[in-house]
Amino acid sequence: MSVLARMASFDDDIDFRRVWRVGLALSALLITLGLAGMIGRGFNLGIDFEGGTSWDVPGEELSVDEARDAVEGAGQGAAKVQTIGRGGSRIIRIQSSESSEEAQLAVTEALAEAARIEVSDISVSTVGPSWGDQVSSKAQRALVVFFVLITLYMAIRLEWKMALGSLAAVVHDMVISVGVYALFQIEITPATVIAFLTILGYSLYDTIVVFDRMHENAALLATSSRRSYTDIVSLSLNQTLMRSVNTTITSLLPVLSLLVVGSFVFGAVALQEFALALAVGLISGAYSSVVVAAPAVAWLKEREPLNRERRVRADAARGPIDSPVPADVPAGASAPARPSAGSAPALSGRPIPPRPRKKGKKR
């Protein structure tokens, strides 16, 4: 039976303890790279956060070097020049912290001359730094309120250990998603912030599905001596894994359509900024519910006295069953079967003499 077929039939045949060891090592590597990118390279903040002026020039007849030379000739050598889109939708975007009208006009005329187009064909937008500060502060407040409400909900609906596990998964997803933007210096815009907040909701949804099944199985198997709490977590992941995979794939298809068709084919830059963050977050959210949230809860729960006793009983029930093969058994031969409890020991090949009958008293 294939792996997908076993997943679809909810067979309890995946040992997630092995998966956790590999997954946690991979998560540690990704988090280290993300933190290194955030600390070492910083963030490529868009004009909405830094303030200044942005020029969008149709790029069919203008190269990046020509645009940079034109901007430097207008006295804006520190401006950031980048290419967005492809083909007929390609544009050259120039961003500068300068916002005076004289500087804007000089750069616009220089770009129009370099691109051999009219001044009216260039889109110019100016944003003050206060707007970006407002977006950042509101996003931070929303994040704090989100964490508080989710912690309370998870603690009341399930238990506080699961609330901690879900928060660990959310932080994991955010660090990886933001780290990708820092490592590759992808521009962060308000659309990106919206996508990051959306990632939080999806990550928690997938985690709550797994935790709810863990809670149900723990109640059903509370008296079982054959399963420890870690075994119950592994069973719950086997039962919900296919649902998580289906949900992730279904969610990724429209996001990938936005990313590939909308941004790279039609050149919709805002779609690229939004869809890329969503794609990274969806994959990371499904991944973290299995390798971060679940093992975190298992680690916390196994330290409870009751679950420690259940683990001892479960390990005793799974004790060695097969006796070692004797040294005189030839290679390839199977070991002799062990006698069952209460059975007579095996005798040699000599015939068994008949048992004498007892003589009864004659009447």
* Residue predicted with more confidence, 100 or 361: 100
Kindly state whether residue 358 falls inside one of the protein's structural domains.
no
**211 and 76 within one domain:** no
Q: Give the dihedral sign, CA 97/182/203/157.
A: negative
Claim to verify: residue 145 and residue 208 sit in the same structural domain: yes
**Does residue 2 fall inside a structural domain?**
no
pLDDT given for residue 30 in this prediction: 92
The neighbour count for residue 58, using CB atoms within 10 Å, is 16
Give the burial class of 106: count Cβ atoms within 10 A of its Cβ; 0-12 exposed, 13-18 middle, 19 or more buried.
Answer: middle
Q: Cα 295–297–301 angle (5° rounding)?
A: 115
**135 within a domain of the structure (yes/no):** yes
Helical residues (DSSP H) of the chain, grouped into ranges: 3-8, 16-40, 47-50, 64-73, 101-115, 129-157, 160-183, 190-220, 229-257, 269-288, 294-301, 305-317
Lowest mean pLDDT among 131-135, 300-304, 315-319: 315-319
Q: Is residue 286 part of a domain?
A: yes
- Taking the C-alpha atoms of residue 148 and residue 99, their distance in angstroms, rounded to an integer, is 40
User: Is residue 296 in a domain?
Assistant: yes
CA-to-CA distance for 122 and 62, rounded, in angstroms?
A: 12
Residues 65 and 188 in one domain: no
pTM: 0.71
Contact 79, 94 (CB under 8 A): yes
> pLDDT-derived band of residue 327, with 50, 70 and 90 as boundaries?
very low
144 and 273 in a single domain? The answer is yes
Structure tokens at 173: 């997803």
Confidence of residue 346 (pLDDT cuts 50, 70, 90): very low
Q: Are residues 31 and 58 in the same domain?
A: no
Q: What is the 3-state secondary structure (H, E, C) of 114-150?
A: HHCCCHHHCEEEEECHHHHHHHHHHHHHHHHHHHHHH
Alpha carbon distance 25, 20 (integer Å)? 8
Domain that holds residue 100: 52-127
**Count of domains for the chain:** 2
pLDDT digits (tens, 9 = 90+) for 149-172: 888 888 888 888 999 999 999 899
**Which of 101, 127, 153 is the last residue in one of the domains?**
127
71 has a pLDDT exceeding 60: yes
The dihedral through the CA atoms of 131, 133, 136, 140 has a sign that is negative
Percent of the chain with pLDDT over 90: 10
Domain edge (last residue) among 80, 104, 127 = 127
- 167 in the same domain as 112: no
